[in-house]
Structure 1
Amino acid sequence: MTFPNLNFPDFLHPRPQPTGLDVQCKLKHFALITYALDPIRFKDIIPERFKLDTIQYQGKEQALMSVVPFIDVDFTSAVCPFPNFTMGQTNYRVYVIDQETQERCVWFIGTTLDSWTLIVPRYLWQLPWHTAIFDFDCHQDSDGLYSQYKMQTQSEWASAELQLTQSHENPWHYEGFPNLETYLVYLTHPLAGFYHRRDGKLGTYRVWHARLQAKPAKLLHAKFDLLDRMNLVSFENQLNPYSVLIEPINEFTIYLPPRVIQ
Structure 2
Amino acid sequence: MKHLNFNSVLHPRPQPTGIDVQCQLQHFALISYAIDPEKLHHIIPQRFKLDTIFVQGQEKVLLSVVPFIDIDFTSACYRFPKFSMGQTNYRIYVIDQETQERCVWFIGTTLDSWTVFVPRFAWLLPWYKAEIHFDCQQDQQGYYSSYKMTTYSEWAAAEVHLTQSAQDEWHYDGFPDLESYLVYLTHPLAGFYHRRDGKLGTYRVWHDRLRPKPATLLHAKFELLNRLNLVSFHDQLKPYSVLIEAINEFTIYLPPQVLEQNSASYPIK
Question: TM-score band, normalised by the shorter chain?
Answer: over 0.9
Q: How many residues end up aligned between the 2 structures?
A: 260
Which residue identity is paired with 1:75? F
**Separation (CA, whole Å) in 2 of partners of 1:147 and 1:71:** 18
1:43, CA displacement in angstroms? 1.7
The CA RMSD over aligned residues, in Å, is 0.3
The correspondence of residues 28-177 of structure 1 with structure 2, limited to 5 A, is: 28-177=26-175
1:108, CA displacement in angstroms? 0.1
**Separation (CA, whole Å) in 1 of partners of 2:239 and 2:223:** 15
**Separation (CA, whole Å) in 1 of partners of 2:81 and 2:149:** 26
Residue of structure 1 in register with 2:23 after alignment: 25
Residue of structure 1 in register with 2:215 after alignment: 217
1:96, CA displacement in angstroms? 0.1
**Separation (CA, whole Å) in 2 of partners of 1:151 and 1:136:** 5
Residue of structure 2 in register with 1:207 after alignment: 205
**Separation (CA, whole Å) in 1 of partners of 2:100 and 2:31:** 25
1:144, CA displacement in angstroms? 0.2
For each residue in 1:39-78, what CA deviation from the matched residue of structure 2 results, as whole angstroms up to 9, or x when unmatched?
A: 0000210000000000000110001110000000000000
Residue of structure 2 in register with 1:196 after alignment: 194
Secondary structure in 1 matching 2:173: coil
**Separation (CA, whole Å) in 2 of partners of 1:236 and 1:13:** 40
Secondary structure in 1 matching 2:254: strand
**Separation (CA, whole Å) in 2 of partners of 1:103 and 1:74:** 30
For each residue in 1:15-38, what CA deviation from the matched residue of structure 2 results, as whole angstroms up to 9, or x when unmatched?
A: 000000100000000000000000
Whether 1:15 aligns to 2:6 is no
**Separation (CA, whole Å) in 1 of partners of 2:165 and 2:70:** 25
**Separation (CA, whole Å) in 2 of partners of 1:195 and 1:225:** 20
Percent identity, aligned pairs only, is 73
1:174, CA displacement in angstroms? 0.3
TM-score (structure 1 length as normaliser): 0.99
Secondary structure in 2 matching 1:261: strand
Which residue identity is paired with 1:187? L
Secondary structure in 2 matching 1:181: helix
**Separation (CA, whole Å) in 2 of partners of 1:212 and 1:60:** 28
Where structure 1 has 5 or more consecutive residues not aligned to the other structure, the ranges are none
For each residue in 1:134-162, what CA deviation from the matched residue of structure 2 results, as whole angstroms up to 9, or x when unmatched?
A: 11000000000000000000000000000
Secondary structure in 1 matching 2:71: strand
**Separation (CA, whole Å) in 1 of partners of 2:100 and 2:211:** 26
**Separation (CA, whole Å) in 1 of partners of 2:254 and 2:148:** 31
1:128, CA displacement in angstroms? 0.2
1:259, CA displacement in angstroms? 0.2
Which residue identity is paired with 1:17? Q
Secondary structure in 1 matching 2:141: coil
Residue of structure 2 in register with 1:241 after alignment: 239
Residue of structure 2 in register with 1:227 after alignment: 225
Whether 1:4 aligns to 2:2 is yes
Structure 1 runs (4+) deviating above 3 angstroms are: none
